[in-house]
């Protein structure tokens, strides 16, 4: 494995994927940084934060105005807490001020469009400079390494909805994906017994080293394996991300796949920012990638804390104090050293991001997380995306769905048409849609946000997703 890993790190990936150039050096740096003392880690992060803030102040008209209005001069910031006067960045800001947020230091053609943002909401545009893309790749590989998954490992992706295959059906692409990149995509858009049996057979032929999955479809797959008693070749590790991994899901996955589960936290806007280590005592934050603040959402003593995330790597489109819409139950304790030896701070347990599983008229299941992925995939909504502040999909009855939305500035109801067409393409035209404008879509009292709510036999359709 070790030779293969070096070969992939130094030759295969850099050859095929330009952002992977320099990966070896970045991984070495990140490994060393993770072992630094807490004080060194905090100091390094503070320097990165200051650099990013100054850059945003100097090159982004949006942030220049925000800083000046808040009376903040980044050059004079003494401590991270001084940043508290700066209003959080919202999805509405991203949507309404994208050109002004983007840094003037880059020509538009130098900025790469990231997968459209939002794992809990409707997608929106995010751009990154090339160095940020490369650095984020490095962070992702470093976090995967904690799960024992190294470059060159075979990975089975239970992921996405219609998947990249739909866009790249050629046999060349499939050979490239399977034999060079060593991955198989198993889209999670429609899960039923036939699809899951096909995945099981692909899985056993491929014999992956690791599984990377959305928790809900993986749970459905493991339920299928348990209920049918059909065999599966155990991988060495399972990585779960994109929605909250619930304790009963982890238990079943570990039992059925006979491999340890590693949770990772990230989102389309930022990429991966935290991951579980082999000690399984919470997720360590990749402090070189993100600076996270925690803020109580109300004055009540047991109120959850929302996270505000600053991207320390994306200079093309600075994201400062971004309201990511995920909450934690309590601010992080000044926890001691983790049993794994890393001093990187750990995230408190996250309570955000769950979605019910939808039961479609043909009997197949669509996990909410897959629906969100589908909205971001394929023929993207792009500039045709409706100007919505918030949205939520509610399944009232088998064929009766409702999209509740909070209209944003500049919204007209004609903007819903491309969205309706996209929903029809994903879920089928036998579903009747109702669009309902509402004043607010409240976060649940627990701090959860829920993009998909099903009132149809959800208990049978999948995990009840907690309280
Ligand atoms: Zn650890």
Which domains does the chain possess?
Answer: 1-351 (3.40.50.12780), 357-461 (3.30.300.30)
Separation of CA 170 from chain center: 28
Is the predicted pLDDT of residue 444 greater than 70, yes or no? yes
Q: How far is the CA of 452 from the centre of ligand 1 (A)?
A: 33
Q: How far is the CA of 222 from the centre of ligand 1 (A)?
A: 27
Residues with Cβ < 8 Å from 212, sequence gap 6 or more? 155, 156, 157, 158, 159, 238, 239, 241
Q: How far is the CA of 417 from the centre of ligand 1 (A)?
A: 47
Is the predicted pLDDT of residue 341 greater than 80, yes or no? yes
Q: How far is the CA of 348 from the centre of ligand 1 (A)?
A: 13
User: Is the model more confident about 171 or about 119?
Assistant: 171
Q: How far is the CA of 82 from the centre of ligand 1 (A)?
A: 29
Q: How far is the CA of 277 from the centre of ligand 1 (A)?
A: 5
pLDDT band at residue 18 using 50, 70 and 90 as cut-offs: confident
Query: Percent of the chain scored above 70 by pLDDT?
Result: 90
Q: Which residues keep their CB under 5 angstroms from ion ligand 1?
A: 277, 279, 338, 340, 342
> In angstroms, rounded to a whole number, what is the distance separating the alpha carbons of residues 458 and 356?
7
Task: Return the DSSP state at 288.
Answer: T
pLDDT in tens, 369-414: 888 777 776 555 655 677 787 888 999 999 999 999 988 888 888 8
pLDDT band at residue 354 using 50, 70 and 90 as cut-offs: confident
Q: How far is the CA of 336 from the centre of ligand 1 (A)?
A: 10
**Burial, 334: exposed, middle or buried (Cβ in 10 Å; 0-12, 13-18, 19+)?**
exposed
DSSP for 408-438 reads: -TT--GGGHHHHHHHHHHHH-TTSEEEEEE-
Tell me what pLDDT residue 383 has.
59
Q: How far is the CA of 281 from the centre of ligand 1 (A)?
A: 6
Q: How far is the CA of 242 from the centre of ligand 1 (A)?
A: 20
Is the predicted pLDDT of residue 218 greater than 80, yes or no? yes
Alpha helices in 147-214 (DSSP H): 163-167, 171-175, 193-206
Tell me what pLDDT residue 380 has.
55
* Alpha carbon separation from 313 to 43, 56, 230, 364, 383 (Å, rounded): 16, 12, 45, 40, 25
Q: How far is the CA of 262 from the centre of ligand 1 (A)?
A: 11
> In angstroms, rounded to a whole number, what is the distance separating the alpha carbons of residues 381 and 387?
11
Tokens of 54: 């100054």
Q: How far is the CA of 142 from the centre of ligand 1 (A)?
A: 13
Residues with Cβ < 8 Å from 25, sequence gap 6 or more? none
Q: How far is the CA of 343 from the centre of ligand 1 (A)?
A: 8
Which of 143-152, 230-239, 418-427 is predicted least confidently?
Answer: 418-427
Is the predicted pLDDT of residue 17 greater than 60, yes or no? yes
- The predicted model gives 412-436 an average pLDDT of 89
Is the predicted pLDDT of residue 222 greater than 90, yes or no? yes
Considering the entire predicted model, what is its pTM?
0.88
Tell me what pLDDT residue 202 has.
96
Q: How far is the CA of 283 from the centre of ligand 1 (A)?
A: 7
DSSP for 314-374 reads: --SS---SEEEEEEESSPPP-----TTS--S-EEPPB---B-PEEEPTTS-EEEHHHHHHH
Is the predicted pLDDT of residue 463 greater than 70, yes or no? no
Query: Percent of the chain scored above 90 by pLDDT?
Result: 51
Is the predicted pLDDT of residue 116 greater than 80, yes or no? no
Is the predicted pLDDT of residue 297 greater than 90, yes or no? no
Please give the mean pLDDT across all residues of the chain. 87
Q: Which of 253, 260, 262, 263 is nearest to 232 (CA)?
A: 253
């Amino acid at each position: 494995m070790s030779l293969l890993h070096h070969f992939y790190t130094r030759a295969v990936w850099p050859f095929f994927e330009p952002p992977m150039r320099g990966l070896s050096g970045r991984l070495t740096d990140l490994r060393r940084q993770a072992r630094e003392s807490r004080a060194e880690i905090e100091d390094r992060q503070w320097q990165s934060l200051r650099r990013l803030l100054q850059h945003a102040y100097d090159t982004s008209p949006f942030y220049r105005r925000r800083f000046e209005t808040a009376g903040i001069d980044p050059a004079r910031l003494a401590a991270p807490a001084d940043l508290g006067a700066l209003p959080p960045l919202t999805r509405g800001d991203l949507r309404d001020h994208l050109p002004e947020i983007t840094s003037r230091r880059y020509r538009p053609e130098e900025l790469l469009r990231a997968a459209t943002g939002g794992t809990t909401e409707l997608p929106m545009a995010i751009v990154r400079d090339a160095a940020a893309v490369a650095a984020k790749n490095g962070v992702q590989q470093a976090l995967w390494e904690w799960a024992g998954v190294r470059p060159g490992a075979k990975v089975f992706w239970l992921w996405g909805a219609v998947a990249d295959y739909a866009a790249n059906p050629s046999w060349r692409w499939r050979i490239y994906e399977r034999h060079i990149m060593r991955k198989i995509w198993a889209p999670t858009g429609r899960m039923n017994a036939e699809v899951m049996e096909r995945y099981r057979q692909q899985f056993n032929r491929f014999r992956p080293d690791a599984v990377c999955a959305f928790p809900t479809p993986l749970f459905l797959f493991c339920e299928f394996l348990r209920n049918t008693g059909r065999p599966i070749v155990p991988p060495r590790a399972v990585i779960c991300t994109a929605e909250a991994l619930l304790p009963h899901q982890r238990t079943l996955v570990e039992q059925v796949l006979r491999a340890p589960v590693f949770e990772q936290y990230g989102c389309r806007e930022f990429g991966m920012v935290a991951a579980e280590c082999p000690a399984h005592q919470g997720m360590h934050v990749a402090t070189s990638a993100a600076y996270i603040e925690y803020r109580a959402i109300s004055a009540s003593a047991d109120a959850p804390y929302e996270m505000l995330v600053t991207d320390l790597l994306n200079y093309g489109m600075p994201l400062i104090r971004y309201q990511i819409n995920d909450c934690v139950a309590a601010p992080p304790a000044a926890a001691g050293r983790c049993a794994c030896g890393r001093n990187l701070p750990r995230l408190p347990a996250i309570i955000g991001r769950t979605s019910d599983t939808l039961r479609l008229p043909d009997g197949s299941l669509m996990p909410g997380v897959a629906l969100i992925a589908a909205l971001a995939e394929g023929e993207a909504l792009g500039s045709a995306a409706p100007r919505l502040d918030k949205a939520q999909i509610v399944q009232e009855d088998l064929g009766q769905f409702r999209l509740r939305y909070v209209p944003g500035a500049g919204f007209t109801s004609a903007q819903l048409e491309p969205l309706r067409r996209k929903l029809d393409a994903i879920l089928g035209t036998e579903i009747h849609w109702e669009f309902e404008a509402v004043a607010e879509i409240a976060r649940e009292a627990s701090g959860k946000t829920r993009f998909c709510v099903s009132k149809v036999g959800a208990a049978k359709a999948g995990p009840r997703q907690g309280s």
